[in-house]
Structure 1
Amino acid sequence: MNERSRAVIIGGGIAGLATAALLGREGYDVTLLEARSEVGGRAGSWARDGFRFDTGPSWYLMPEVFDHFYRLLGTSAAEQLTLTRLDPGYRVFFENHDEPVDVAADRARNLATFEAIEPGAGRSIGRYLTSARSTYRLALAHFLYSTFASFRPLLVADVILRAGRLGRLLLQPLDRFIARFVTDHRLRQILGYPAVFLGSAPSMTPSMYHLMSHLDLEDGVYYPQGGFSAVIESIRRLAEREGVTIITDARATAIETGDGAHPRVTGVRYADADGSPREAPAEVVVSAADLHHTETTLLPSELRTYPDDWWSTRVAGPSAVLVLLGVRGGLPALSHHSLFFTEDWDDNFQRIFTEPTSVPDPASLYVCRPSATDDTVAPAGHENLFILVPLPASPGIGAGGEDEGGDDTVEGIADRAIRQVARWAGIPDLAERVVLRRTLGPADFARDFNSWKGSALGPSHTLRQSAFLRGRNASSVVDGLYYAGGTTVPGIGLPMCLISAELVVKRLRGDVSAGALPEPL
């Protein structure tokens, strides 16, 4: 590798920033192009009137992945962030049940809670969590950090001896796997909900992903003080420390290649803040933008690894309406994280994923109240509330706006969500206490992030869209073109995006190992 080879990163979300930082440490001369005026991408923030909202991810899971990433850069999560372990990790409200269920910060209390709901469930879910922990550790050791450029590193005893079980976990849907352990509908929903983190439904998600329950029921849920913008800012600082040049208001318009039988990247064309055309030359280009946008907009048809007909067979993860509320007074009925599950959530998922799609009503919701943990996100005497309503991936549903200024459909969905939270959580005057309101809809995801079909997450983690079936993180047509972020391997979520940055380094090194890179780089 030329010590000062030039690399251009497209996209300043967490994956783009992380990739830039790692390549800077590898010795590349790195330029990062971000289309918006601030970095962060989907992990963005918005502030007004003394309120500050995270507008994207809000669950800090898999802390060891974050810490490993920071240690690659010669630091640690403890040095970069102030983490608070949430207890309860989250609270669950169920339709037609008066009392919510708190999921605690440790395994023993959770097993006792589940036993109280369904006699015998404590022991059953104990076995479930033991399996989840074992599967998670196997995934970390042999799958999540693999580019799948070679399958030889998977031919080890740990994997071979478990091949039969792994095959069953891949082929059996998560909901059917859960049904082997518990019968109570509420417990099945708690165990099945992690599928939503993967942009999927329990009936569509391989039961391999029951490993997610180890994270929330046993490993714990954390919160970085200052919100997730603190995570983004820490990685930005580290990237700049490694010599990365970050250019905002720089919208990539094309990935340039040389001529010949084996085209190779030569740079990226982009429009600057004034709309003037610019060019950033490079020997390596990493697109951390949406993979569909990269392939179908930034490359000509003859250079696409994933053309339109490939996308026609893919399943998009759900979109969402986000409702950001500043609320006067306290909201003690809500935990930092609260989930609202409808009785017939199979109908919710069918409406989101099955054609013809429609907006669920009532919908299973997610509510975040970061002011329960962080005094800096709302003025004194007020609360910060974030509501997420999962929807079909369809930009036609509309865009949001400030002070009820979004499209009618989006604002109507927001109104219903506020009423639902108020009724289920016993906060009858919630709507009257709202002093600030902003909404975001599927059209915002499509416009702001070039998101395929306006999805809030990316391609769903179905069997055909997981692990090596999710797609390569390197172009099979253009030399020097790589991909990072939630739309490529290993998948959706902030930890996965950090791993995707590391996978770019492994590709460039020709490293086909299955495990994480040694620390530091």
Structure 2
Amino acid sequence: MSARTASGPRRVAVIGGGIAGLATAALLAAEGHDVEVFEQRDDVGGRAGSLAVDGFRFDTGPSWYLMPEVFEHFFRLLGTSVEEQLRLEVLDPAYRVFFEADRPGTPAPSPLDITADTGANLATFEDVEPGAGRALADYLSSSSEAYDVALRHFLYTSFTSPLGLASPDVLRRLPRLLPLLTRSLQDFVGARFSDRRLRQILGYPAVFLGSSPERVPALYHLMSGLDLTGGVMYPEGGFTRLIEAVAGQAAHHGARIRTGATVVGITTEELPAGRRPRRGPRSRATGLRWRDREGQEHVHAADLVVGAGDLHHLETRLLPPDLQTYPQSYWDRRTSGPGAVLVLLGVRGELPEMPHHSLFFTRDWKANFDAIFAGSVPDPASAYVCKPSATDPTVAPEGHENLFVLVPVPADPGLGRGGADGQGDAAVEAVADAAIRQVADWAGVPDLAERVVVRRTIGPGDFAADLSAWQGGMLGPGHTLRQSAMFRTGNVSKRVDGLLYAGSSTIPGIGLPMCLISAELVLKRLRGDTSAGPSPEPARPAEDLAVGPR
């Protein structure tokens, strides 16, 4: 039976235990399907992983809780709520931005704080550049409109029906929306603000989208409305707690999660001649082959396979060439988001100079991004630092701080892998050393390196080896115009019936909220639902369906 039409209960095999795979398993199991998840690592989470070392616990991936409406909707689809699953704290300041000096030998501009108070942020912009407060208010109004339209028409759809794009709501806004697709975010921001610090604050969300301000469409200014108007939140226990909540919901609804299970192939059979569509697949998925920790190979039968891992790996490694919808030649024409060097530091003593989130922006931002996409490590490099111990005492021993440092670098596994205590590959450790020096200098913590008691690094080689990430990228294909919305890689195989996709490689794109939506798009396909908006939420049952500690 076609995966494109509504049907009865199915045997579903999900490849990948990251948030997209777990969310898919939860939604399909709640729908009554028989679901099993296959995750090659010993723990679920994928890019949203966790590492415990000597009393420190590090999130090794996402650390910004944005688009709260998406999380709320997802949990309500499962009969529960964010309030029942997570304890969220609004961060204030949301983040602090440190800037490189305008010229060598001159003092750096003072750091700027973005808070949970929109009025305070307007005042900050006005203080930096007269007139920028009013300009920011107009900018955020436009951002809010774009975000609202995206939620209702562009994110919760597989673009199988033109009706969503041709709705009166979209058509009425086309004169404002089309220019946002034909110019870059960098140009859009630059036309409204002169001070480079303000431009950088409004342009940095492009990094969350796996790109740069000059490479993403201006439509993505919608991201700025998320942290400049409502603040940034943090789930108590870290983002591993979010993974536990989604995995808990999957198990609660009957899905089985198998770790240490490496999928080595998707099994298929040819459709009988009489059942082949005039156009479309000639084969159908019958399950998968997987290898356990001992190297023993097994076959798992399924009516539907959902690939929720890296799509390049799934297509080019788990299917024969004649069944690949997205072969290597397709990926050769695509653009990866950046790679990253992650530096996980346990630090003795307090670091009041930095709040929960800090951004370190270089003076010549264009040169920084150009170097990354040209294959070179920038010097100096912009960086992001998360200090969750500012909010969560459970992530570090008493009297210590937990630092997660992310430095965007080229998506190139050849840069190497990280390691413990500076023993990773040379290029990765050199990036880590430079980042520690930079943070120490710009934030005013001259003895930072001497206070490090735990150090672990992760490089592009680790993303490639551990997560099967295309080109060792930290996020997935970047959100350039030709890789966004209806132009992004689709979520259904054109060669194999019963093979669907979820995760950051496919629609709607990169980030935890997008991965939750990608899982819902699988559910909508099975239901035969071609609507453009979120699925209807079920009425809450009388009994309490909460899973996990409260």
State the TM-score, normalizing by the size of structure 1.
0.99
Q: Do the aligned partners of 2:7 and 2:527 also contact (CA within 8 Å) in 1?
A: no
CA distance in 1, matches of 2:204, 2:399: 33
What is the alpha-carbon distance in structure 2 between the residues aligned to residue 512 and residue 164 of structure 1? Answer: 26
- Taking the TM superposition and a 5 Å limit, the aligned residue runs for 1:364-403 are 364-403=382-421
State how far apart, in whole Å, the 2-side matches of 1:58 and 1:374 are. Answer: 13
Give the distance between the partners of 1:148 and 1:280, measured in 2 at CA.
Answer: 31
State the distance in 2 between where 1:304 and 1:250 align: 23
1:23 aligns with 2:41: no
257-266 vs 454-463, which moves further = 257-266
Structure 2 contact 358–386 (Cα < 8 Å) conserved: yes
Once residues 74 and 296 of structure 2 are traced to their aligned partners in structure 1, the CA distance between those partners, rounded to angstroms, is: 36
How far is 1:2 from its partner? 5.3
In the other structure, the counterpart of 1:140 is 151
State the distance in 2 between where 1:35 and 1:331 align: 37
Aligned residues: 519
Distance 1:498 1:520 in 2: 17
Partners of 2:427 and 2:326 lie apart in 1 by 33
3-state DSSP of counterpart to 1:332: coil
3-state SS in 2 of match to 1:27: coil
Q: Does 1:116 align with 2:127?
A: yes
- 2:305 aligned with 1:285, yes or no? yes
Residue 15 of structure 2 corresponds to: 10
- Does 1:448 find its partner at 2:453? no
Q: How does 1:211-230 map to 2 (within 5 A)?
A: 211-230=222-241
- Cα distance between partner residues in 1 of 2:198 and 2:266: 48
Q: Distance in 2 between matches of 1:239 and 1:423?
A: 45
User: 5 Å matches for 1:20-169?
Assistant: 20-96=25-101, 97-169=108-180
- How far did 1:149 drift? 1.1
What value does the CA root-mean-square deviation take over the aligned residues? 0.9
1:91 is paired with a residue whose SS is strand
**Aligned partner of residue 258 in structure 1, secondary structure:** strand
User: Whole-Å Cα distance in 2 between the matches of residues 268 and 26 of structure 1?
Assistant: 22
Report Cα offsets for 1:224-279 as digits up to 9, x if no partner. Answer: 00000000000111100110011100000001111246200000100011110011
Q: Which residue of 338, 341, 366 maps to 2:361?
A: 341
Q: Do the aligned residues in 1 keep the contact of 2:7 with 2:526 (CA within 8 Å)?
A: no
Structure 1 residue aligned with 2:545: none
**3-state SS, counterpart of residue 84 of structure 2:** helix
Give the deviation of 1:380 after TM superposition.
0.2
Partner of 1:269: 289
Query: How far apart, in 1, do the equivalents of 2:320 and 2:166 lie?
Result: 38
Residues 317-365 of structure 1: CA deviation (Å, up to 9, x unaligned)? 00000000000000000010000000001001001113xx200010000
Q: Which of residues 471, 480, 495 is equivalent to 2:489?
A: 471
- Secondary structure at 1:473's aligned position in 2? coil
Aligned equivalents of 2:255 and 2:199: distance in 1? Answer: 46
Amino acid at match of 1:182: F
Show the counterpart of 2:425. Answer: 407
Shift of 1:17: 0.2
Q: 1-side partners of 2:165 and 2:376: how far apart?
A: 42
- CA–CA distance in structure 2, aligned partners of residues 286 and 520 of structure 1: 24
Q: Larger deviation: 188-197 or 259-268?
A: 259-268
Structure 1 counterpart of 2:343: 323
Distance in structure 2 (CA, Å) of the matches to 1:308 and 1:154 = 31
| Whole-Å separation in 1 of the counterparts to 2:351 and 2:184 | 37
CA distance in 1 between partners of 2:354 and 2:295 (Å): 45
Match of residue 178 from structure 1: 189
Aligned to 1:380, the other structure's residue is in SS state coil
Q: What residue is the counterpart of 1:306 in the other structure?
A: 326
Q: Tell me the distance in 1 between the aligned counterparts of 2:90 and 2:123.
A: 20
How far apart, CA to CA, are the structure 2 residues paired with 1:26 and 1:192?
40
2: distance between equivalents of 1:208 and 1:186? 21
Runs of 4+ more than 4 Å apart: none
SS at match of 1:204: coil
SS at match of 1:161: helix
Q: Which amino acid aligns with 2:246?
A: I
Structure 2: gaps (5+ residues): 1-5, 102-107, 277-281, 540-550
In structure 2, what is the Cα distance between the partners aligned to 1:221 and 1:42? 20
**Any idea what the Cα deviations from partners look like across 1:191-234, whole Å, max 9, x if unmatched?**
00000000000000000000000001012200000000000000
